[in-house]
Amino acid sequence: MTSTATTPWDIPADWPEPDAAARTLSVQLLEHIRAAIATAGGWIDFAQYMELALYAPGLGYYSAGARKFGAGGDFVTAPEVSSLFSRCVARSCADVLEQLDGGDVLELGAGSGVMAAAVLQELAACGRLPENYYILERSADLRERQQAHLNRELPQLFERVRWLDAPPAQAWRGVLLANEVLDALPVRLFGWNGTRVAEVGVGWGDAGCEWIERPAAPELCDPVMDWARQFGWQGDYRSEINSTLAPWLRSVMGNLAAGAALFIDYGYPRREYYHSERACGTLLCHYRHRAHADPLCLPGLQDITAHIDFTAVAESAEALGFGVAGFTTQAHFLLDAGIEPMLAAAMNGTVNDDLRHAAQAKTLLLPGEMGERFKAMLLVRGTVGEVSGFRGRDLRSRL
């Protein structure tokens, strides 16, 4: 990666300009990042930059009050596309809760709260309500929006929903859910030039944040050199690694004594993630429905994500005593969980409604949309048998 400076407002002419309030927030965030770089001696790793850009209190993308989800925001997630997605997730939850004869649900990173509301509604409809529906949400702003949404949509079940300030400190039983949360965790960046590994971080130059490379420390260098050999990289290669995935999973899943964790996100098994042809990594930014790969522009005004190395998720979970009970594409997950009969039942013969439902289902299922790139992974501890969503195509051998 070259060390070119990037001005935060240097955006293509056809992108919507941020308004004055958004610019003010972004400038304040940039000042905060500049101070962090100075305190660190002129360089921070990319994970620290991503952490500040997304979560700096009151200023980061997820901490400040911008719209984010849906047509008026920056990106659309599956629960925002259609409640059919969340109803399928609820079917998996219901199977686990039934096998445990009760338990709780814990949703991580609940966004606008739409999935929580639809999952609870479906669980109520199948007579499998959890004792508590916990939400662990990093963003104070989103937590307020979730509370408002659930109170408005589901007043009769609102008492069951509780917001946690930290992962459960006691052993608990039930289901942990996370849709598009792993991709929002900060990652480190590396570059490989055929012989040496560099860590790509962020410094401060005349035009603001700029890329700076440093020789990689052994904990980064060793796995990267391994992958370079194993996957036959040729020429320059750069990508990301989530160095804090294992401790993060331990913090959120460690006390799940019996039950299952369901992670849905975009990503690949390791050998596809670090395939020699994926030589530019998977970093992806979203600003007003424009996807691009420059995380230094529009700080605080765009989402920054990386795809998931699902092999790393499986390895970390196995080290915690979980088994990988399922790994499949989103399309196969939804089909096995019953999206087709749900869709048929939702069709009411009103042309506009039916076309809308059909278009939403296509977005969730088609390979060129969310169907293939998104994967569902089920991790279980204790005796958990068959779970809806994972009785169809089994991709575990690819991990």
The residue among 179 and 388 lying less far from ligand SAM, judged by its C-beta, is 179
Q: Which residues bind ligand SAM (CB under 6 A)?
A: 62, 69, 77, 79-80, 108-111, 115, 136-139, 142, 179-181, 184
**Nearer to ligand SAM among residue 149 and residue 275 (C-beta):** 149
Work out how close the CB of 358 gets to ligand SAM at its nearest, in angstroms, rounded to a whole number: 22
- Distance of closest approach, residue 351 Cβ to ligand SAM, in angstroms: 29
Nearer to ligand SAM, 6 or 363 (CB): 363
DSSP 398: G
Residue 196 beta carbon to ligand SAM: minimum distance, rounded to whole angstroms: 32
Task: State the distance between the two ends of the chain, measured CA to CA, in whole angstroms.
Answer: 29
What is the distance between the alpha carbons of residues 213 and 203, in angstroms, rounded to a whole number?
A: 9
Reported as type and span, the H/E element at residue 199 is strand 197-205
Q: For the beta carbon of residue 318, count every other beta carbon within 10 angstroms.
A: 12
Pick 233 or 310: Cβ nearer ligand SAM: 310
Is the CB of 108 or the CB of 261 nearer to ligand SAM? 108
Helix pair angle (140-153, 114-125), 10° resolution: 40
Q: How far is the CB of 240 from ligand SAM (least distance, A)?
A: 16
Which DSSP letter does residue 118 get?
Answer: H
The least CB distance from residue 57 to ligand SAM, in Å, is: 13
Q: Which residue is nearest to ligand SAM (CB)?
A: 109
Q: Specify whether the CB–CB gap between 52 and 32 falls below 8 A.
A: yes
Say how many C-beta atoms besides its own lie within 10 A of residue 25's C-beta: 21
Smallest distance, Å, CB 105 to ligand SAM? 13
Q: How far apart are CA 240 and CA 307, in angstroms?
A: 9
Closest CB to ligand SAM among 79 and 208? 79
Asked whether the beta carbons of 226 and 296 are under 8 A apart, the reply is no
Cβ–Cβ < 8 Å for 327, 314: yes
Residue 47's CB is within 10 A of a number of other CB atoms, namely 19
